[in-house]
């Protein structure tokens, strides 16, 4: 006797938990050929606000952790992702139509990218910070610090896993917390990645992942007064321009589409999520 498969409903990931959208909205996730794959929650404005609240509450703990500890946690994410790689390969194949070889290549690249960024957590400050020469009996030091809460849009329509990882990981390196919006048409791998995050020693609220429409959610986040940086890498040109205008009202840092690669690591991309603090200290005259 045959049985009916249990269709999965992918929920949101907010504050370390998996709530349904408060609006009750869902949408069908289908394959390129139109075959039904799963249901996904369609995030609302309140869901976005809840994610920002959770991210803000987690900033103090994550930013105050040692750089070495953040690196350990990010390495643990890579380790857990590798343990579930077969699942991700299957999800990418079904939702994007990629071949098994291409899907495997993408999953391996996402794992490697997490390890690469994990290695920068205790090195980045030494590369961009340091002592500055000044005229006078003073020490002058430049120290990079996290900007706070970052909103990132994953690439839409391709790179469903690697694009999400490439958007989230650089923000985590220096102690920022993240609200990420997944690929709208292929969110399955992103929400399975949320399950990886939930089991990888990442404090609740450090990473929050929403599914739904960039055109609906991004303007709210760009104008949100408690969001410090917006990465519009996954937005189209028209949406990015509107969001950049909204972000200017609260002096947010903005990463424009095409500014960084959606599949490879970049030290400069880490820098897009930090502020530089300058410290002056008097030299002893004794």
Band of residue 142 on the pLDDT scale cut at 50, 70, 90: confident
In the chain, where do the E strands start and end?
9-10, 26-30, 36-41, 130-131, 138-146, 149-153, 177-181, 207-210, 229-231, 253-255, 274-282
Q: What is the mean pLDDT of the chain?
A: 94
Q: What is the pLDDT of residue 101?
A: 97
269 confidence band (pLDDT: 50, 70, 90): very high
**Which segment of 62-76, 147-161, 202-216 scores lowest on mean pLDDT?**
147-161
Per-residue model confidence (pLDDT) at position 229: 98
Select 12-282's CATH number: 3.40.50.300, 3.40.50.720, 4.10.80.400, 3.40.605.10: 3.40.605.10
Q: Is the pLDDT of residue 29 over 90?
A: yes
- The token pair at 5 is 């498969």
**Residue spans per domain, the chain:** 12-282
Band (pLDDT 50/70/90 cuts) for residue 285 is low
What is the reported pLDDT for 286? 57
Least confident of 158-162, 207-211, 232-236: 158-162
Beta-carbon contacts of 127 under 8 Å, excluding residues fewer than 6 positions away, are 267
Please tell me whether the overall predicted TM-score, pTM, comes out greater than 0.95 for this model.
no
């Amino acid at each position: 006797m045959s049985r009916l498969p249990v269709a999965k409903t992918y929920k949101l990931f907010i504050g370390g938990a998996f709530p349904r959208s408060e609006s009750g909205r869902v949408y069908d996730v289908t394959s390129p050929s139109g075959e039904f794959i799963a249901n996904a929650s369609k995030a609302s404005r309140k869901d976005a606000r809840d994610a920002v609240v959770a991210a803000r509450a987690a900033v103090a703990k994550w930013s105050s952790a040692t750089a070495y500890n953040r690196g350990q946690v990010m390495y643990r994410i890579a380790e857990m992702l590798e343990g579930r790689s077969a699942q991700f390969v299957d999800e990418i194949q079904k939702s994007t139509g990629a071949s098994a070889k291409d899907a495997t290549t993408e999953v391996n690249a996402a794992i490697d990218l997490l390890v690469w960024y994990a290695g920068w957590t205790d090195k980045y400050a030494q590369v961009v910070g340091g002592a500055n020469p000044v005229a006078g009996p003073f020490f002058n030091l430049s120290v990079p610090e996290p900007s706070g809460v970052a909103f990132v849009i994953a690439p839409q329509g391709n790179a469903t896993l690697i694009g999400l990882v490439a958007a989230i990981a650089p923000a985590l390196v220096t102690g920022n917390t993240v609200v990420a919006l997944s690929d709208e048409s292929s969110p399955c791998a992103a929400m399975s990645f949320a399950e990886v995050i939930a089991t990888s020693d990442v404090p609740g609220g450090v990473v929050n992942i929403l599914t739904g429409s960039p055109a609906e959610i991004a303007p709210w986040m760009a104008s949100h007064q408690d969001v410090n940086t917006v990465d519009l890498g996954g937005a189209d040109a028209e949406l990015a321009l509107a969001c950049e205008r909204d972000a200017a009202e609260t002096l947010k840092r903005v990463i424009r589409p095409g500014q960084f690669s959606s599949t490879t690591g970049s030290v400069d991309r880490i820098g897009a999520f930090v502020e530089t603090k300058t410290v002056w200290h008097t030299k002893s005259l004794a």
